[in-house]
Each structure stands twice: as C-alpha cells, then as structure tokens.
A and B are shown apart, each in its own frame.
Chain A
Amino acid sequence: MAQVIGVPKETFPGEKRVATVPEVVPKLAKLGFRVIVQAGAGEAANFDDEAYRAAGAGVVPTASELWAGSDIVFKVRPPTAAEVGLMREGGTLIGFVWPAQNPELMKGLAARKATVLAIDSLPRQLSRAQKMDALTSMASISGYRAVIEAANAFGRFFNGQVTAAGKVPPAKVFIAGAGVAGLSAIGTAANLGAIVRANDTRAEVADQVVSLGGEFVKVDYEEEGSGGGGYAKVMSEGFQAAQRAMYATQAREADIIITTALIPGKPAPKLISAEMVKSMKPGSVIVDMAAEQGGNCELTEPGEAVVRHGVTIIGYTDLASRLAGQSSTLYSNNLLRLAEELCKAKDGAINVNFDDDAIRGLTVIKEGTVTWPPPPPKLPAAAKPATKAAMPVAVEKKGHGHGAGEPMAVGTLVTMFLAAAVLFLLIGAYAPPAFLGHFTVFVLACFVGYMVVWNVTPALHTPLMSVTNAISSIIIIGALLQISSGETPVLVMAGVTLLITSINIFGGFAVTRRMLEMFRK
C-alpha cells in the first residue's frame, strides 16, 4: 500500500525553503511512496511546479487538499494551529518541530492522534544519523550566509592586499561559538582571506578551528564547557566574567563579529554587551546568528539589520532560507535518508521502529502519545574519557610537542641531550668499527625520515601509508641476494619473499597513484 508523501508550501512569513526538491522525488518514489506537492511550494526556492511534475510528483492546488490527501507530510517549519487542523487524523508529520519550545503544538498534534518525527530531536552523536542531521546541514549553510551578509555590510575587503593605490588591511573576524555554524563561518571567512579568530566554551573544538584556518582564543579560566551531546552548557559566574573580559578585548580589535552561541532549550547567552558595541570601530559589523533565541548581542533586533553606535548589527533569522535552493536540496536529502531508514522494505509504508535509536530519538509523538523526551541513547564509552582528556588539553601544554614546530621546555631538552651524550660516548668507546658506519646511516635515516614524514599534509596521509608500504619493500634486495644460495630453505624463503615484496611494490605504487588521481582539483 503506497503511502502518499505531501509537501505543502511553507506558511511561515519569509520562509522560502521547501521540504522536497524535484531531484529527490524519484528517489522517494523508488522507496514506494507517491509524492504530491502543493502548487507553488517550491517557487520561492526556484523549483517550479513543472519541474516537480516532470520528476513524477503530483501537483495539488490548495493546502487543504494537500494535507487531506497525504499520509505523511514533510515540512520545514513547525505547522501552525490552522495547519494542524487540516492534518489527517492519524497522519504522520516529519519536520522541524522544536518540542521543548512548542508545548501547545505538541498538544494539538497529539489530539490529532498523529505520529510526529521532529528532525531537530535527532540524536546527533550517532554516526549513522549524520546523513539525516538537518540541524547540521542548515547550520552550515547559515554559517556561510552569515559571512556573506557580513561582507555585504562591511565597507572593506576581507583579504589584505598591497595595491598601487595603497595597502588594504585584511578584515579581522571574530567568531563566537565553534559549532557547525561557527566552523562553517570560520572556513568561509578564512577562504575569503580574513584573519579569523574564534572561541568556544568547549575546549575540544580548538583543533577543528585551527584546521579551518582560524586561531582559537582561550578564556583565562579553567572550566569544562561541554554539556553533553556535543552541545555547550551554561557556564559559572567566574567563567562568564573572564569570558566577558576576553570578548571585550576581541571586540575592540575585530572588524566583524559573528556570534553563533546557543544552548539547547535555553535563551541564547548574551556575549556582546552594549559597551562592547560602543568600543568597536565605526563601520564594523556584528552578525548575530542566535537572534531567533534572543540574540548573543544586547542590541540585536531579531529579523532586522540595525545600526547602533556606527556598528551594523544584523539579526536575520532566515539565513538558511536566503539560500533557499541549496538549503531545500540538502534538507530534502536529509528527509530522504530518514525515509530510507523508516521504509527499509521499500514498500511505500513507513515503520516507526523504536528499536532503532535514531528513530526513537526522532519520534516525539506516536499515534497520539507523546514520546518525547526519549531515554538517553547509549553513549559510546569514548565519550566519558573524551571529556576527561579535554581538561588537560585546555591547560597550557608544556613539552608535549609532536610534529615539526612545537618547541620543548628547556629542562626536558637539556636532560635529553645529556642522556644522548652519555649513550654516544658508550657506543663510541665499545662498539666495533663496522657498527659505527651502519649506526651513522641509521641515525641520519631516522632524522630524515621524521622530517619528511611529518611534512606530509594530513589530507595525504592515506597515500602516504600506501607509498611507504611500497618503499619498505626495498627488502626485496635481500631476497634477490639470497636467491642464488644453495640451501633449499633459504631458496624457498627468498622465493616467497620475492613474491610478497613484488606484490607490495607493484600494488603499493599502483594504489598510491589511484589515490592521488582522486585529488585532482
């Protein structure tokens, strides 16, 4: 029995996204579903009705017909009370619902005996759930858009240049919060050539910030900022005071500040005070991505861009919707992946299976019974030691340098040199001369190898493994030398070695070549 998936036009003012795009319609049909869309649903995202029809979806003229004709409704924004009224009794709704913030809506949906899957309640820690994570896909788009809006409002270049008409300084961008949106913003701003600094209460994201081209700025206070589930938590007063001091210093220097700090279920933390805004240079820009949850800046007006004390404060709440085509496509893919999990039998009927952790977390109402919040998913054991490991990471590391460039503390260095000197003295005095020749080569080889291997960029570590595999098969020379020996066991071993090392050499280089070809720009 093929169920019907219906996609209405979003009624939220200014919402341009649509829950499914023509590209995804045939894939839903392959799972056995029939897809109908409301006329004009994708118009604001540049997907016209003809494109949907060509992809195999039916087009229905009015909202009421769509809601009445659908077994499952895919939506972007939470439905209004009126839309809940249009919903079929016992129907299914999949979309952003925000159960914690919308108790009235939950009651209304429960009364309709609906089954509701809230895509924002996905347990994001499950790696299997990443393909369904719409919060991540929307946040990365919003982070990108925030930088574009900032660049639009900012009066200078992002990248520094030396031109005949004078030197152009690069823009200094400070990003508060290094979650998905923050990291996306860091990457975009760094790609545009700005000097990027970022901060987050969670110490473990420092590496991620650096890998995208930003500098991680620490708060002068020891406290663990992870609230579980990968989210931040409300920090203590002491930390908040130290944090305010750091933000004040950064605000004075930054040209652009992008704030992304959110705590699930609570109002957004106020990070930028009116005083800090006053201290910023005129012409600076603040993009407050937390505007919908109250804003990280005291002077934010949600939904608008205002100018206060010469600083443009952008509080748009529809950043993802501004890239409607891209967001709709990614969101549709998230929902498609969810549909695949719900309909493993590909028979056009969904099965809300509570044994599946992801589906259990997503389902907030099942046939009229509220099933939210779900029991916490079994955390992998790595989570607990990871939080402990984060603590020593936050403390300034002394002497734990790995890789070229991390200087070691003087004390450790001196001790090491003394120990090496003693060792060398002993070797020099007592070893046979032949050994010293080989020892020289060995020591040189170690140093050269260390330097060369640590210079390899992380992206190329996999080809590194296969090419060193090939090169290490130089021991084939040993086998070649022994192949002319008289004794049978030696011959056999040499023969086997020859076979294995040749495979290694040929295969290693061939595989490396294949891998490197994939890196073609």
Chain B
Amino acid sequence: MVAGLITVSYIGAVILFILALGGLSNQETARRGNMFGIAGMAIALF
C-alpha cells in the first residue's frame, strides 16, 4: 500500500510541476505556478 501511495504522490508532484511551468504563460497565474512548483518539489522529496 505504501508503494502505491508513493507512486501516486510522484504523479501528484509531476502534475504540480507541469502546472508550475504552465502558469508562466500569463503574468497573473505565474506566481501561483511558482507555488505549485514548490509544493510539487516538497511532495516529491517527502
């Protein structure tokens, strides 16, 4: 079960990273994107 959770959290991190880069398409969403990136990295590490 733990292995499954780990995989899912990696997927979550990936989604957040992609959203982070996507957020850069627009100045309004850019700062939100940066937050997503930080969150993604945190999840991936833990």
Contact = CB atoms under 8 A, between A and B. Distances in A.
A470 interface: yes
Given A448-B18, A455-B22, A471-B37, A460 B45 contact: no
A456 B33 CA distance: 12
A516 B25 CA distance: 12
Given A457-B24, A460-B27, A474-B44, A452 B34 contact: no
A468 interface: yes
B41 A509 contact: yes
A480 interface: yes
B21 A468 contact: yes
Interface residues on B, range: 10 to 19
Nearest to B33: A467
A165 interface: no
A496 B11 CA distance: 27
Given A452-B18, A513-B34, A516-B30, A460 B24 contact: yes
B34 A471 contact: no
Nearest to A502: B45
Interface residues on A, range: 20 to 34
A467 B24 contact: yes
Contact of B31 (A452, A476, A513): A513
B37 A456 contact: no
Contacts of A512: 34, 37
A505 interface: yes
A519 B21 contact: no
Interface string A470-493: 110110110010000000000000
Contact of A477 (B18, B26, B44): B44
B34 A467 contact: yes
Contacts of A517: 31
B38 A456 contact: no
B41 A457 contact: no
Contact of B30 (A460, A468, A470, A480): A460
Contacts of B37: 467, 470-471, 509, 512
A517 B38 CA distance: 16
Contacts of A471: 17, 20-21, 37, 40-41
A519 B23 CA distance: 14
**Majority DSSP secondary structure for residues of B touching A:** helix
A464 B31 CA distance: 11
Contacts of A459: 27
Interface string A449-463: 100110111011001
A198 B40 CA distance: 45
B34 to A, nearest CB: 5
Contacts of B30: 460, 463, 516, 519
Contacts of B40: 471
Given A448-B18, A474-B41, A476-B45, A456 B34 contact: no
A342 to B, nearest CB: 40
A384 to B, nearest CB: 36
A293 B17 CA distance: 57
Contacts of B18: 448, 452
Contacts of A453: 21
A390 to B, nearest CB: 30
Interface in A438-456: 448-449, 452-453, 455-456
B20 A467 contact: yes
A438 to B, nearest CB: 14
A456 B25 contact: yes
A480 B45 contact: yes
A474 B17 CA distance: 10
B46 to A, nearest CB: 10
B43 to A, nearest CB: 11
Interface of A: 448-449, 452-453, 455-457, 459-460, 463-464, 467-468, 470-471, 473-474, 476-477, 480, 505, 509, 512-513, 516-517, 519, 521
16 contacts: A449-B21, A452-B21, A453-B21, A456-B21, A457-B26, A457-B27, A460-B27, A460-B30, A467-B24, A467-B37, A470-B37, A471-B17, A509-B38, A513-B31, A516-B30, A519-B27
Q: Which 10 A-B pairs have the closest CB atoms?
A: A455-B25, A456-B24, A452-B21, A460-B24, A516-B31, A519-B27, A509-B38, A516-B30, A512-B34, A452-B22
Given A471-B21, A477-B45, A516-B34, 6 more contacts: A455-B22, A460-B30, A463-B34, A471-B37, A509-B41, A512-B37
